[in-house]
Amino acid sequence: MLVVQKYGGTSVGTVERIGEVAKRCIATQAQGHQVVVIASAMAGETNRLLGLAKQIDDAPPPEMERELDVIAATGEQVSVGLLSLAIHKAGGRAQSFLGSQVRIITDSAFTRARIKSIDAASIHDALKAGKIAVVAGFQGTDEDGNITTLGRGGSDTSGVAIAAALKADVCEIYSDVDGVYTTDPNLCPNARKIERVSYEEMLELSSLGAKVLQIRSVEFAMKYGVKIHVRSSFNQNPGTWVVPEEAQMEDVLVAGVTAARDEAKVTLLGVPDQPGIAAQIFRPLSEANIVVDMIIQNVSDAGRTDMTFTVPRGDLRRAVELVRRSLPEMAEAGIKTDDHIAKVSVVGVGMRSHAGVALRMFELLAKEAINIQMISTSEIKISVVVDAKYAELAVRALHDGFGLGS
């Protein structure tokens, strides 16, 4: 078999841990498999590097994002060098690869680049020579040779994309949790490990706050049919398989509960109620690559309407500036913002065939006296925006209320 193993920050957090990972890679190879390893930066390292940049400029302009990637990509370079050294020390053979050496080509969207192609020839050569290929996660290069990074948590995507390019039999994602849980186990100690979760559910869980897999890694897996096994490098326990949907998955009403705290809310009071106004507001946001999530519009009075929408918290300042510019007639008092919000969601393919999930969710929140500010739904998820201070309470109430706890 060809096995891709991606090790997250905690798995390579110390030189001792790197030594353990090296042994695990060698053991996998000794079972007769070809092994490709994707390594993240050592735990905390990416934050440290970006923190250094912040000390110089706490809000770098878009044209400086190229430099942020030059800085952040070094974390993974250190990891692959150390891991290759550790594999050698433990009696194995390894070769490290940076994104540019594999030739992981991305677009030029610095700090959030998308992979366009992977030329796996150099990895194949290393494997043929009996080596373990150790590839830096999180990074690539654009067509002009600039270093790019894939967004926070991007090593997951490196792992799955390389597994797809190599047609690997499995992509193992090693994290500090030993699988995908019914909710963040660090938040809810009675969360249960899910044995098998569908790509579609995992896509929603990831996009709604379960950072155990970066959303783009799940998109890749679904598109190319890569089987993901999320597990722990600290033991041999089976973890969670992310796979195509299976019939019995619909029997489960709610598969998981998530909370996302990285959004902010913008409310526009008394917007003219005319055709074209919504486009006028959201066009500049879209052109600035600001992803608008939930949108609510309410009729107020006399040809005016109130509108509320959410954006990533980091984009709030810029979003407000852009709205001001596109609606110069808006009074200053007419634009309100709130960055103390959280989006809490329940996800499950079972919702397709079962009614009443939304009602149950609202009842459970009401019982805790948690006010719902916004609601959005899709076929397999329901999300509500609540005051950030209630996020944990809401997650626990929903997790227990839907019977997910152990």
Binding site for ligand ADP (CB under 6 A): 8-10, 40, 153, 175-177, 180-181, 183-186, 210-212, 256
Among the listed residues 75, 92, 153, 179, the single contact to Mg ion using CB under 5 A: 153
Residue 226 per-residue DSSP state: P
Do residues 21 and 233 touch, judged by C-beta distance below 8 A?
yes
> Measuring CA to CA, how many Å separate 239 from each of 105, 167, 368?
31, 21, 33
The entry of ligand ADP, ligand ASP, Mg ion, none that residue 186 binds, CB within 5 to 8 Å by partner kind? ligand ADP
Q: Which is nearer to ligand ASP, 74 or 376 (CB)?
A: 74
Among the listed residues 9, 99, 179, 401, the single contact to ligand ASP using CB under 6 A: 9
What does the H/E/C string look like for 41-52? Answer: CCCCHHHHHHHH
Binding mask 49-88 for ligand ASP (x = CB under 6 A): --------------------------x-------------
159 contacts ligand ASP (rule: CB under 6 A): no
CB of 203 to ligand ASP, least distance (A): 18
Distance CA 270, CA 302 (A): 9
The entry of Mg ion, ligand ASP, ligand ADP, none that residue 401 binds, CB within 5 to 8 Å by partner kind? none
Among the listed residues 11, 95, 155, 175, the single contact to ligand ASP using CB under 6 A: 155
Question: Please, which contacts does 44-52 make with residues 24 or more away whose CB atoms are closer than 8 Å?
Answer: 44/9, 44/13, 45/9, 45/75, 45/78, 46/9, 46/72, 46/75, 46/138, 46/152, 49/74, 49/75
Q: Which is nearer to ligand ASP, 8 or 401 (CB)?
A: 8
Cβ neighbours of residue 301 closer than 8 Å, sequence gap 6 or more: none
Q: Which is nearer to ligand ADP, 181 or 309 (CB)?
A: 181
CB of 187 to ligand ADP, least distance (A): 7
Distance CA 62, CA 53 (A): 14
Among the listed residues 138, 174, 309, 402, the single contact to ligand ASP using CB under 6 A: 138
Residue 336 β-bridge partners: 267
Number of H helices, E strands in the chain: 13, 20
**3-state class of 365 per DSSP?**
helix
The entry of Mg ion, ligand ASP, ligand ADP, none that residue 152 binds, CB within 5 to 8 Å by partner kind? ligand ASP
The entry of Mg ion, ligand ADP, ligand ASP, none that residue 192 binds, CB within 5 to 8 Å by partner kind? none
Do residues 357 and 365 touch, judged by C-beta distance below 8 A?
no
Do residues 217 and 138 touch, judged by C-beta distance below 8 A?
no
Q: Which is nearer to ligand ADP, 181 or 282 (CB)?
A: 181
Q: Which residues bind ligand ASP (CB under 6 A)?
A: 8-9, 40-41, 46, 75, 137-138, 152-156
